[in-house]
Amino acid sequence: GQQVMQIPQYQHVQEGEDFTTYCNSSTTLSNIQWYKQRPGGHPVFLIQLVKSGEVKKQKRLTFQFGEAKKNSSLHITATQTTDVGTYFCAGITGGSYIPTFGRGTSLIVHP
Amino acid sequence: NAGVTQTPKFQVLKTGQSMTLQCAQDMNHEYMSWYRQDPGMGLRLIHYSVGAGITDQGEVPNGYNVSRSTTEDFPLRLLSAAPSQTSVYFCASSYRGTLSTDTQYFGPGTRLTVL
């Protein structure tokens, strides 16, 4: 079945440093979603990418979808303590409306 | 709108007991699903439903049953609880898109401990 791999599992950064998490799928995706889960909370939708090579920005967050639609990344510029949490990618293949989640990357920001 | 609600928030069971985790949404979403979250394992799909009367298995369905008699409700039943089912359970719903999946809205979760 479809597998979505996400690295790294954990990332410690000093406040102000940049952060990137990578997501790779074993199959071509129709679209990919990103979610953020604060400690003790539930996943919250951030964004969806649909087009090959698509790049979207939300303030300090930049999301990319690979040309082959098999990989994606989330980059945070100048991290803040409010960025702490676990970031999940979720891939959807054509014909399925239920996403497959990666294992997530936990971001720890040290002030 | 209340969004996706889950009850209870916390539950402690003894091995062999059964219980039902409740999930309800008031957004008229067709898609509903149950995930379990364990440390380092991400979100694993247990069961899902694409509409009332239709359910299907996800990645880790063993030990769980679901039913979908209404659009709003999607309860998850643990038949005979085992310590391996200690986890955080999330219910999610989404609108049935045409070409792509819409946002998944997650409930606040149920933290289950099986002794």
pLDDT on residue B41: 83
pLDDT bin (cut points 50, 70, 90) of residue B74 is: very high
Measured CA to CA, the distance from residue B18 to residue B87 in angstroms comes to 15
Task: Look at B105 and A48 and tell me if their CB atoms are within 8 Å.
Answer: no
pLDDT on residue B103: 82
**Min distance B19 CA to chain A CA atoms (Å):** 22
Beta strands, E only, chain B: 4-7, 10-13, 19-25, 31-38, 42-51, 54-57, 64-66, 76-78, 87-94, 105-106, 110-114
Report DSSP state, residue B27: S
Tokens of B55: 């359910």
| Kind of pairing between the strands at A105-110 and A10-14 | parallel
**Chain A interface test: which of B104, B105, B110 (most A C-beta within 10 Å):** B104
Task: Look at A48 and B97 and tell me if their CB atoms are within 8 Å.
Answer: no
pLDDT tens per residue, range B15-28: 999 999 999 999 99
Measured CA to CA, the distance from residue A43 to residue A33 in angstroms comes to 12
Rg of chain B's alpha carbons, rounded to an integer?
13
pLDDT bin (cut points 50, 70, 90) of residue B90 is: very high
Residue B21 burial by Cβ neighbours in a 10 Å radius (0-12, 13-18, 19+): buried
Report the residue from B31, B43, B44 with minimal CB separation from A97.
B31
pLDDT of residue A24 exceeding 60? yes
Question: Would you call the peptide bond into A111 cis, given omega within 30 degrees of 0 as the criterion?
Answer: no
Report DSSP state, residue B73: B
Chain A partners within 8 Å of B92 (Cβ): 43
**Chain A interface test: which of B100, B105, B110, B111 (most A C-beta within 10 Å):** B100
pLDDT tens per residue, range A27-70: 999 999 999 999 999 999 999 999 999 999 999 999 999 999 99
What are phi and psi for residue B83, nearest 5 degrees?
Answer: -55, -30
Task: Look at A104 and B31 and tell me if their CB atoms are within 8 Å.
Answer: no
pLDDT bin (cut points 50, 70, 90) of residue B98 is: low
Computed over every residue of chain B, the mean pLDDT equals 92
Q: What mean pLDDT do residues B65-75 have?
A: 97
Q: What mean pLDDT do residues A77-101 have?
A: 90
pLDDT on residue A91: 92
Nearest chain B residue (CA) to A104: B42
**Chain A interface test: which of B74, B101, B102, B110 (most A C-beta within 10 Å):** B101
